[in-house]
Amino acid sequence: VEGEKTVQQEPLAIVTRNNDREFSDIINWVVQALFYGVEQGLTKNMTLCQNYTNLTTYHASNLNFMNAVYCVGNYHEIWGGEGNRQGMNQINNGTSGMVYAIPFGELDEEDDDKRDLDVAVSTTLRKFEESRLLNCGVVVPDGFDRVTNLTRGFVGMSSDYCRILAAAVLSENYDLVNITTFSQNDNSSFAALNDGTIDVLAGVRVEKKHDFGSPPSTGGVHFSTPYFYGNETANDDVSFFSLATREDDVMFSSFVNCVVLATIYARENEFTRKKNKYMPFVSIFGNDFEWALQNAILYSGNYDQIYKKHFGALTKAERGRNYLNEDGGPQIHSFPGLFRK
């Protein structure tokens, strides 16, 4: 930390292979359970630690993820020591920002053959070469006028992320997008994503049941880095809103996540539309998408510009979790949908 600004952040995570998304989801929800234990004051308790008698009867979403806490301990118990519970390793209570971009790392792929093979695996990215149209769904909350309010507030922001993605994947052509609205009260949006009617779904709340595909007919999804957070208290289910993609196209899911991260990365580095050329080249998705992040920021600007466009100039207090975590404040909170005891 230098002054009031954190100049180096090194988030640590568990890494899994990308060819087994269900196992990756299980690992992620184990980590979420550790966070949830801290939020709810749940600690290691061997009387609640349960053994499974027949794993073959379980769908992954039905696993008791709270066993991680009861049998081993919550996040802070595992870390140990007050020094490890400071800064970003604390539960966010809604009074500080959670908007944060993990480091991009190396975005160049020097092996042309491997790069082309990876892109060929992504049927969605290849599809855009022919269709030149992004089909994007937007989930509309209850009581929101679908027709007149697609440019306002949260729904306007979600619709804009559809256009940002179109600008990234279709060479600046942010208008080559077909936006379809869906109600939040049924599974029609996830069904449309699963059957290919839409390529990506915006404005969706991250939840365990959708991560694993419940009901099974909707299929499991991959959630991007969140771009909007609810104002719930720390011990409640906090709403995380992101872009959702199908789990069967890992490369496209990674591309979508990179685009969301790009808007936050641009804010961290104070890159505006006029400074879009400072965004990194990205060749890991193939030569056709090297300019993707620059094209995205050319259309949208950085995260703060997007937020102000749809919500106006609000104070940090009014924005709640929806501003940049640039001072190394609390960054942790569990996703909704964990099993309660």
Tens of pLDDT along 65-79? 999 999 999 999 998
- Which two tokens mark 244? 């959702």
Bridge partners (DSSP) of residue 11 are none
Confidence of residue 161 (pLDDT cuts 50, 70, 90): very high
Q: What percent of the chain has pLDDT over 90?
A: 58
Q: What is the tens place of the pLDDT at every residue in 200-251?
A: 999 999 988 888 876 666 668 999 999 999 999 888 889 999 999 998 899 9
Say yes or no to pLDDT of 149 above 50.
yes
Mean confidence (pLDDT) of the chain: 86
Q: Which residues contact 28 (CB under 8 A, 6 or more apart)?
A: 211
Distance CA 151, CA 155 (A): 7
Q: What is the tens place of the pLDDT at every residue in 311-329?
A: 999 999 999 999 999 888 9
The pLDDT, as a whole number, for residue 104 is 85
Distance CA 87, CA 287 (A): 39
Say yes or no to pLDDT of 261 above 70.
yes
The pLDDT, as a whole number, for residue 341 is 43
The pLDDT, as a whole number, for residue 146 is 47
Does the CA dihedral 63-68-70-74 come out positive or negative? Answer: negative
The pLDDT, as a whole number, for residue 283 is 86
Say yes or no to pLDDT of 172 above 60.
yes
The pLDDT, as a whole number, for residue 151 is 62
Q: What is the tens place of the pLDDT at every residue in 83-126?
A: 556 789 899 999 899 999 988 887 776 555 555 555 556 788 88
Distance CA 73, CA 67 (A): 9
> Rounded mean pLDDT of 131-157?
78
* pTM over 0.75, yes/no: yes
The pLDDT, as a whole number, for residue 131 is 86
* CB-count exposure of residue 152 (10 Å: 0-12, 13-18, 19+): middle
Q: Which residues contact 326 (CB under 8 A, 6 or more apart)?
A: 5, 6, 97, 268
Q: Which residue has the higher pLDDT, 219 or 300?
A: 300
The pLDDT, as a whole number, for residue 210 is 85
Least confidently predicted of 69-78, 165-174, 218-227, 297-306: 218-227
The pLDDT, as a whole number, for residue 113 is 56
Least confidently predicted of 7-21, 175-189, 292-306: 7-21
Confidence of residue 55 (pLDDT cuts 50, 70, 90): low
The pLDDT, as a whole number, for residue 147 is 46
Q: Which long-range contacts (CB under 8 A, 24 or more apart) does 309-314 make?
A: 309/156, 309/157, 309/160, 310/151, 310/152, 310/153, 310/154, 310/156, 310/157, 310/160, 311/153, 311/157
Distance CA 233, CA 24 (A): 28
